[in-house]
Structure 1
């Protein structure tokens, strides 16, 4: 994987002239924990898994994944797969705000919604791509349904429950910081936030002015109340499929991902620490990540 560190990507390549955006179909399905919305691109390919994505807190599937999946070099990969982009409940575009007192699903319950999505679409296996809270949800799903997951790309995963010191620090931060500020601190490094690039300004604006900010806070609370995934190298609780762990160098979740790597089967796990990518490598380095994804798929056979 070392050679992947050297790929220099200066800017996101937009769709080429003549490339038409793919047709997308959005569906909603009822689950035991409420309704979930997901968007499907492409058509199912015989004997191939679907690529299923799950986004992080403060984002939806578009703001989390579009720069990656619209990247020029990604097109040759994704034309071979149908894609399912899941939006966490209340995060889809135009989502109404949940009523006061609404019991938002836990991350474990969000993972338990995925079988309903696959059943609705009649898909049997997936390659999961998740970021942050979405990476945790897909890992939990893979623990519960190992036979349906052929591979996982987990960006910024923190497999641990918050310890009481983390919890206390979180509570103290909450007294002085707004919800958007706390979520931005989860998504991006302090260096990025201080630099206030166009990307940071864009995402600060998206989150601060989100019409569904109350819903976002509910997803955020569920993330902060997550249970420990209890991964154990050589133990019973582990991911059985090939896994690519990804984190940015100096990113907020670097230590958590390094620890996660130490707990997974080294013969099944590749670890990509990306220089100069900040907290969201799929936004800042879609080219590097596309190349890594290509190698990952080749390794899966």
Structure 2
């Protein structure tokens, strides 16, 4: 996946476009020109730019709507929506109604969101799968632009020779749709969520921009290693989220092992949404928000479960806090989310 840094010269005191201020909490869409085509961006939430924007990046086979709408429409997320501007990026050619790229098109992913053009100096990144990798790479290149990262089902490793050979065989025996479904779901999840898997299969196989999806998929599979070690980690707090049966569970756990253990905390909050609020509070925002369970429970073994439409039945959350973060002390330094 090629990460393109865009140098845009604007007034540092610039604010959000007037149209967004007028729309308030309503959704507003932008198409931003880049050297590699249009970048589709959807904004909603507050128009206050004194706080970082929450920037999302979706996985392969999804777009920003199908990936993040269930989460940010969830009732308990509305407090965050009312306090932050959400910036949803669609990878080039992945949004609804996108024009189909010609054969042989050189596909690039633009991870720089034109923060100055939109009036933001920093963001809190939320990425899933390929989006988690892209935002991680962006954070390494622009550490001062990212205040925090939430990485869901991240695989920081490049494809090895065994993976490459397996991918070649899979390409010969499986359709693009089935390859992407195997990326999104494990075999256990496919068996347990037949209706959800069918809806994704139908949507991907019938997508008019299937060529664009294939280009994104190929680009992700040619990614390079994220160079992580305990002495040169992300400068910002990081929360890792991975499903217990997700295809990349081991990869996410391996990623966590490379983070500095002295700045890593694990918890068992009741909900992913509340864990997200807690993560934001640790960066000094939403201090008055009521954290019903996380703030009250600091024992070594906190456990609960929940279900959310379109989400995995269980997930494990690993959270890294920067030295400047305000995470409350925990005797076990263990964080796990059951959902």
Deviations 1:138-192 (A, max 9, x none): 0001001101101000001111111111111111111110000000000011112
Question: Post-superposition shift, 1:63?
Answer: 0.5
Separation of aligned partners in 1, 2:267 and 2:152: 9
Q: Please tell me whether residue 35 in structure 1 is matched to residue 18 in structure 2.
A: no
2:231: which partner in 1?
Answer: 234
- 3-state SS of paired residue (1:110): coil
1:250: which partner in 2?
Answer: 245
- 3-state SS of paired residue (1:79): helix
Separation of aligned partners in 2, 1:245 and 1:28: 30
Q: Please tell me whether residue 49 in structure 1 is matched to residue 52 in structure 2.
A: yes
Q: Please tell me whether residue 154 in structure 1 is matched to residue 151 in structure 2.
A: yes
Deviations 1:81-109 (A, max 9, x none): 0010000000011001101111101xxx5
Please tell me whether Structure 1 or Structure 2 has the larger radius of gyration of its CA atoms.
2
| TM-score, normalised by the number of residues in structure 1 | 0.82
Q: Please tell me whether residue 125 in structure 1 is matched to residue 108 in structure 2.
A: no
The 5-angstrom pairing of residues 189-268 of structure 1 reads 189-235=186-232, 238-268=233-263
The 5-angstrom pairing of residues 166-181 of structure 1 reads 166-181=163-178
Separation of aligned partners in 1, 2:268 and 2:159: 23
Q: Relative to 1, partners in 2 of residues 1:224 and 1:98: Cα closer, same or farther, differing over 3 Å? A: same
Separation of aligned partners in 2, 1:163 and 1:83: 35
Q: Relative to 1, partners in 2 of residues 1:70 and 1:31: Cα closer, same or farther, differing over 3 Å? A: same
Question: Post-superposition shift, 1:33?
Answer: 2.9
- Relative to its length, the structure with more helix (as a share) is 1
1:7: which partner in 2?
Answer: none
Which stretches in structure 2 are left out of the alignment for 5+ residues?
A: 1-23, 285-339
Question: Post-superposition shift, 1:269?
Answer: 4.2
2:65: which partner in 1?
Answer: 62
Which stretches in structure 1 are left out of the alignment for 5+ residues?
A: 1-20, 275-286
Aligned CA RMSD, in angstroms, stands at 1.9
Question: Post-superposition shift, 1:198?
Answer: 2.1
Question: Post-superposition shift, 1:193?
Answer: 1.5
- 3-state SS of paired residue (2:261): coil
Separation of aligned partners in 2, 1:68 and 1:268: 27
Q: Relative to 1, partners in 2 of residues 1:22 and 1:202: Cα closer, same or farther, differing over 3 Å? A: farther
Q: Relative to 1, partners in 2 of residues 1:269 and 1:88: Cα closer, same or farther, differing over 3 Å? A: farther
2:183: which partner in 1?
Answer: 186
How many residues are paired up?
261
Q: 1:289 aligns with which of 267, 272, 292?
A: 272
Question: Post-superposition shift, 1:272?
Answer: 7.3
- 3-state SS of paired residue (1:37): strand
Q: Please tell me whether residue 99 in structure 1 is matched to residue 94 in structure 2.
A: no
Separation of aligned partners in 2, 1:272 and 1:214: 41
Separation of aligned partners in 1, 2:268 and 2:217: 25
Separation of aligned partners in 2, 1:102 and 1:270: 43
Asked whether the equivalents of residues 46 and 83 of structure 2 are also in contact (C-alpha less than 8 Å), the reply is: no
Q: Please tell me whether residue 141 in structure 1 is matched to residue 138 in structure 2.
A: yes
Asked whether the equivalents of residues 152 and 240 of structure 2 are also in contact (C-alpha less than 8 Å), the reply is: yes
Asked whether the equivalents of residues 58 and 130 of structure 2 are also in contact (C-alpha less than 8 Å), the reply is: yes
Asked whether the equivalents of residues 189 and 251 of structure 1 are also in contact (C-alpha less than 8 Å), the reply is: yes
Q: Relative to 1, partners in 2 of residues 1:212 and 1:198: Cα closer, same or farther, differing over 3 Å? A: same
Separation of aligned partners in 2, 1:242 and 1:201: 36
